[in-house]
Amino acid sequence: MHTSNFRFLRKLSLLVTIASIVTLSSCVSQKDLEYLQDKDKQVKEFREAQIEDYKLKPSDELYIQISSQDEASASVFSTTTSQSSMSVASMQPYGASLAAYTIDKEGYLLLPIIGNVYVKDKTTTQVSGILRDSLTSILNMPVVSVKLVNRYVSVLGEVRNPGHFAYSQEKLSIFDALGIAGDITDFGDRSEVVLTRNLDGKILKINLNLTKSGIIASEYYYLRPNDLVYVKPLKKRYWGMKEFPFSIILTTISTGLLIYSVVIK
């Protein structure tokens, strides 16, 4: 009887040990949840990542604000009335789209009086210069501001608020985009973040490791309009203090002890 009890206790102990090992091995460490990890704690200096100016393509939407000393003539180019002086950055995406000019499939922009202007593969700064030069014979000292309306990025996968987001700033970093999406969850793999980008009709798939500080100087640190960021899930499962399965382990031990007491009796 004592021999069988001893064997039972050994089996119970082995069962509890295996359950504990499996549970603990699936936990995510603090290191898995940190960005920009460095063994060296000294201040590091990185050259700012370079980003090329966005080149316009068909279907892009441009918010164009034209002003001059002759406001009555300049108002002909306005697509809004009371909102004509409003910054595109302060508009909601839908409202900004309504106040925008759309580049047609041939790459042309149609404007009142000026007519068709070829803008494909040009930057907003170049378009601003072209329009200003075209208006010098029409308006008195024209000032032209051109902004890209359709600035969107998509953030999917293991983030708290995945979605399709509009932004207005000229530079949006990978961390800015993740911040908009509520940050990566405890289940997200910060070392396996995938960026997809349409570049001249070719889809690029880039793997980014956000646990390395070198990402700050990467050419992919800043996102471009219509980029997609996908955060892969961790292979391990995270257990926080509130989520750790203490109840399962205690229940297993309690059941084993109960069976053991019955066997003794």
CATH number of the CATH domain containing 94: 3.30.1950.10
> Could you tell me if residue 59 is left (phi over 0), alpha (psi between -120 and 50 degrees) or otherwise beta?
left
Clarify whether residues 160 and 132 are in a common domain.
no
Query: What average pLDDT is seen over the chain?
Result: 79
- Mean pLDDT, rounded, for 75-90: 52
> Range of 122's domain?
61-148
Q: Kindly provide the b/e burial profile for residues 211-232, where b requires at least 16 CB atoms within 10 angstroms of the residue's own CB.
A: beeebbebebbbbbbbbbbbbb
What pLDDT is stored for residue 230 in this prediction?
A: 98
Last residue within a domain, chosen from 114, 148, 182: 148
Clarify whether residues 243 and 225 are in a common domain.
no
- Mean pLDDT, rounded, for 109-118: 92
Clarify whether residues 71 and 140 are in a common domain.
yes
Q: Do residues 28 and 237 lie in contact, with contact meaning Cβ atoms separated by under 8 Å?
A: yes
More confident residue, 208 or 80: 208
What does the block give as tokens for 50? 């370079």
The answer to whether residue 185 sits within a structural domain is: yes
Clarify whether residues 158 and 143 are in a common domain.
no
**Helix runs in 77-123, H state only:** 93-98
Clarify whether residues 165 and 243 are in a common domain.
no
The answer to whether residue 56 sits within a structural domain is: no
The answer to whether residue 130 sits within a structural domain is: yes
Q: φ, ψ for residue 6 (rounded to 5)?
A: -65, -40
Clarify whether residues 205 and 133 are in a common domain.
no
**Domain count of the chain?**
3
| Strand 115-118 versus strand 172-173 pairing type | unpaired
Clarify whether residues 144 and 65 are in a common domain.
yes
Evaluate if residue 187 carries a pLDDT over 80.
yes
Evaluate if residue 107 carries a pLDDT over 70.
yes
In what helix (H) or strand (E) does residue 172 lie, and over which residues does it extend? strand 172-173
What pLDDT is stored for residue 242 in this prediction?
A: 44
In what helix (H) or strand (E) does residue 198 lie, and over which residues does it extend? strand 188-199
CA 28 from centre of chain: 23
